[in-house]
Amino acid sequence: MAQGFVGRSAAEMAAALRSGEVTAVELLRQAIVQRDRVDGRVNAFLERTDELAETQARAADERIAREGANAPQLCGIPVALKDVLCLQDVPSTASSRIIRTFRPPYTGTAVQRLLDQGAVVVGKTNCDEFAMGSSNENSAYGAVGNPWDVERVPGGSSGGSAAAVAAGVVPYSLGSDTGGSIRQPAALTGTVGFKPTYGRVSRYGLIAFASSLDQIGPFAQTVEDAAHVYSAIAGHDPLDSTSSASAVEDPFETLRSGVEGMRLGVPREYFVEGLEAGVRQRVDEAIELLRSLGASIEEVSLPSTDAGLATYYIIAPAECSSNLARFDGVRFGMHADEPSLLRSYLSTRGQGFGAEVKRRIMLGTYALSSGYYDAYYRKAQKVRTVIAAEFDAVFEKVDALVCPTSPTVAFTQGAREDPIAMYLCDVLTIPVNLAGLPGISVPCGLSDGLPVGLQVIGPRFQDARVLRVAHAYEQASGAARLRSPMVAEAAP
């Protein structure tokens, strides 16, 4: 069997498949060996789909033999899926007890588009319950460890998908981003995490948290890999009413164009109190590198940034309260047998939901209740409009924004039991979701031996521009070579 593909990029694997150096079956078996070797420490996987993956890998080998260089870029490449993404007949639990027996009768659009490319699914990944969290400590099936230091969190809510890539099990994975749940764990695990423009990737088949904020996107070893995954999953879907019908730009037309002549803004409000000195230093160095590559750097202001956190934690719980009302123990999922319908309903939800989910349901129900809707929810929506308008105004002056992704590096599990302290983890990512913008986190070095993420933000539907800036930085900095100790352990 060919060796040495653990921790390699999807592009490298694709080239090796086409040259005959390795087969899709061999790549899968290496992924399974690495997954089984590290997952007792990381707990990234909730469901292992080895039998399905074997079938997919054999089909991919046949397709590559038949189509050669014309086979899709992702054909035969292993992938992991966050457990909020539906894959037909495979358990999809959203890391919650309440739907632990749910086997979706259909496959979500983004996942199906990967399958159409010939992707090989090695499993479903752990996450914060119903994607609610910033550390992946809220899963009903245990916390996820960071492959850089398993005593530390990988970020959330897509921590399992981030950890699967950081540990070298798969070269890319899918997550979902509601307030930073792709970019923040990417920063904490030293991976690339891309959140496309809202509406650019279909949400059909995504178990909803907050429908006006959720967006599916990739984790990857490199920006190039993220661009390939984005190209595969983006585009209009008639099954999703929020899916944009506008044409999708080919990110590869400009991916390698560099940043010379581009205007990059640095929002002063993103260098907040609480930003760790090591994080600030790495991000400042990254910005200076972009300047040396020919970009002009300009300080800009987004004055309503401070209101973003409060706005999000009204809108997101309100939508969560509505979306999770369907989990009632009657139609599907967990059912607590009680003498009355009301007691059955209350017992099902009381036992089935974890503490953070209950907290957000109660907060959202309160914000939507009679007498409080105007005071809270309506006002939050108005502030959301202001935040989006401020981004629009800034993007009339600059092409993209560069700033930190997370104010801190990965923290120790259990260190943030106060919910407010935990919510502050997303202070630098939430505004992007409120405005529906594309954003990416790319590794920009280490602080105290742990990864730091540089965030690039662009105007709506300028996803290719975001990828272009991130790729230019990645190539100049060597950030694509950053790998966790778990990858080094697997070296032959």
pLDDT band, residue 479 (cuts 50/70/90): confident
Is 145 a domain residue? yes
Annotated catalytic sites, by residue?
A: 82, 157, 181
pLDDT for residue 3 is more than 70: no
Q: Strand (E) positions, 27-144? A: 45-48, 78-82, 120-125
Q: Which of 120, 1, 7 is nearest to 64 (CA)?
A: 120
Is 419 a domain residue? yes
Residues 85 and 150 sit within 8 Å (Cβ to Cβ): no
- Name the amino acid, one letter, at 312: Y
Is 351 a domain residue? no
Kindly report the CATH number assigned to the domain that includes residue 446.
3.90.1300.10
Is 379 a domain residue? no
Give the tens place of pLDDT for each residue, 182-201: 999 999 999 999 999 999 99
Phi, psi values for residue 332, rounded to 5°? -160, 165
Q: CA 132, CA 135: separation in Å to the nearest integer?
A: 9
pLDDT at 1: 37
pLDDT band, residue 491 (cuts 50/70/90): low
pTM, to two decimals: 0.96
pLDDT band, residue 380 (cuts 50/70/90): very high
Q: CA 353, CA 350: separation in Å to the nearest integer?
A: 6
Tokens (6 digits) for 211: 């429908």
Tell me the pairing of strands 45-48 and 263-267.
Answer: unpaired
Give residue 268's domain range: 10-302+392-489
Contacts 24+ apart (CB under 8 A), 419-426: 419/356, 419/359, 422/133, 422/134, 422/135, 423/134, 423/309, 423/313, 424/274, 424/309, 425/134, 425/135, 425/155, 425/180, 425/184, 426/134, 426/179, 426/180, 426/184, 426/309, 426/312
pLDDT for residue 281 is more than 50: yes
H-state helical runs in 301-429: 305-323, 341-352, 355-368, 379-394, 419-423
pLDDT band, residue 329 (cuts 50/70/90): confident
Is 343 a domain residue? no
Residue range 410-435: average pLDDT?
93
Number of H helices and E strands in the chain, helices first, is: 16, 11
Total structural domains within the chain: 1
Tokens (6 digits) for 43: 């707990």
Residue range 421-446: average pLDDT?
96
Is 478 a domain residue? yes
pLDDT for residue 149 is more than 60: yes
pLDDT for residue 492 is more than 70: no
Q: CA 451, CA 444: separation in Å to the nearest integer?
A: 7
